[in-house]
Structures are given as structure tokens and as C-alpha cells.
Amino acid sequence: MKYEPKRPFPLHITPFVVTHQAEVPDLYQAGARTSQLSKDPTNCYLWSGTMSSMPTTPEEFKQKLTAMVQTHYANHRIPLLLAHLGTELQKADAWPLDRGQRSLKQLISDYVTPDVDLVWDRRSPAYIAVATPDVRDAVTAQVEQRLGAKDVTVRLEDIIRPVLLAFCIDARDQPVYVRRSRPFRYEIGNVSADQISDFVHVEPEYRRPGLRVDRLQSLSANDKVDLANRIQKWALVHDLSVEQFYKPDQDSKQTSDLGGTALDRLLSAQPPDVAQRLMIPADIAQILARLR
């Protein structure tokens, strides 16, 4: 006897037809769970063990995001930055089904406010935190205090080379990421989901593609100041300390003794006029910058 489904199948469900009752045990042997199999032979369907998670509705997105923010402030007193919240949503696969091209800032405004508010300071609109109404005032005060204490001069000469390259290499419109901790390196292109928490996105507005950082002394004063300001703003937005990307003393000595990276040595070997015009593909430059 052949049974056919009598009503439309739910989303993300794989239908199958039972032609004989003896076929049912074989399905369990193939890996189906008892709770996944319908006992009604007139409406048989099997949940696939490899299916992706169900899409998040706007209401579920609101609930999950609000819970994340509440959990953060229940355990921490520091502001929860918008960029960090985006990383947590990505790890939890909690973006709403109808996200489209909207930013997280816009999604919060559309779906979550007033349960969760955005907090920022006029002096640095890119430094955005999120807060629930009960902690909003305290978070606002912390953001303002932090920005007031962030008048720090960035020394490009002290920043480790892979980090500088991340801000200046021509990635051809691909995203660029920097590793949060040593050994520092940058990645061009999307980072896998299991490693994304180890990296920080270097957004296009903080980058100067094509700027030569192999000879910092040859940069104009304006270019130096502009790049330093971009790096400082990027670190502030991501709640990072620029100093964590500085070269340790031993790294500086080793670089001096060995003549820098392979990229340094390649450029140093060229006549000045050739070095200024030399274009090195991004993937090759990335490899050379890692070689001592």
C-alpha cells in the first residue's frame, strides 16, 4: 500500500513515502531519531539531521538580542559595543530572516527599541554601545568618560607590520581582518565561523589602500597623521588598545638583526624609483610579510 501526504509539508522538512511498514526500522538505522519520525503513516515525514537551523523571525530576533544584552549587563559592568553584539549574533546564527541589507544599528531601531537602546557620544559617533533602559544612564556615562580619556598619540613606527599592512594593502574590495592576539596577522576575505571571534574586521572607512608603509619615513606628514587617526578610531570602535599591536622590544631587535620581513627585503633591494611603482599582489604580499 502506498501512502501519500495529505497536507503541505512544513518548512525545512523532507517528505518521504512509506511503501511498506517494514521500511520504517531502516530509517532509524540510517540515523533518524525516534522523536523525529511521525507515527502517523498517512502523514509521514522525517527531519533531516543535516538541515540548517530554522530562520529567525523578527520577534525571535528581538527576544534573542534583548536576552544577550541583559545577560551581558548581568555579568559585566563595561559597555557592550555594537560590533561585539554583531559578532555574538553571527555566532548564534540569530540574524532575522528579512535582514536584507540593513545594518545591525537599523535592525535594532526597527525591531528592538525601546527594549534595547543605542548609546554613543557626539565626539565619536562610530563608538556605539547597546544598553537596556535600566542601565542606559550608567553606560552613557562610561562611554563619555572613556572617550574623554582616549587622547592618545599613535606611533606608526611601533605598530607591528602585519597590522599596518591590513590598513593599507589593496584587498580589491574584499574584507580585511586582523588577528586579535599574537602572532598577529591579517586575512583577506571572509574568515570561517569557527575563527571569527579571533579576528577583528578592519572596515573600509578606516583603511588607506595603496598607502606605502614599507618606508614610513617617506610618507608625508598628512598621510601619517591620517593613518594614525584611522587606526586609533578603529581601535576605539572595537574596544581595543592600540598598544596591544605594538612591537615588543625583542621583536624590534629581531627585525633589525634579520633585515625585517621578506617583504621589507624585497622592497629595500629595489631602486627608489622602482620601489615606489612596484605593485605586489595582495596574496603574495601577505606571504612575504610573514617570512622573517
pLDDT at 16 over 50: no
pLDDT at 259 over 60: no
The CA-CA-CA angle for residues 261, 265, 266, to 5°, reads 115
C-alpha of 273 from chain center: 38
pLDDT at 192 over 70: yes
pTM of the model: 0.43
Grid cell in block for residue 283: 596574496
Looking at residues 217-232, what average pLDDT do you find? 89
Looking at residues 116-139, what average pLDDT do you find? 85
- Are 231 and 159 in contact by the 8 Å Cβ rule? The answer is yes
Residue count (the chain):
292
Class at the top of the CATH hierarchy for domain 58-148: alpha beta
C-alpha of 121 from chain center: 23
Most confident of 6-10, 62-66, 275-279: 62-66
Q: 96-125, pLDDT tens digit by residue?
A: 988 888 889 999 999 999 999 999 876 666
Instruction: Give ranges for CATH 3.30.420 in the chain.
Output: 58-148
Looking at every residue in the chain, the average pLDDT score rounds to 76
DSSP class per residue in 72-120: HHHH--S-EEHHHHHHHHHHTT--BTT-TT--HHHHIIIIITTTSEEEE
Closest of 25, 26, 19 to residue 41, by C-alpha: 19
Greatest alpha-carbon span in the chain: 84
- Stronger pLDDT, 131 or 241, i.e. the higher one: 131
pLDDT score, position 71:
96
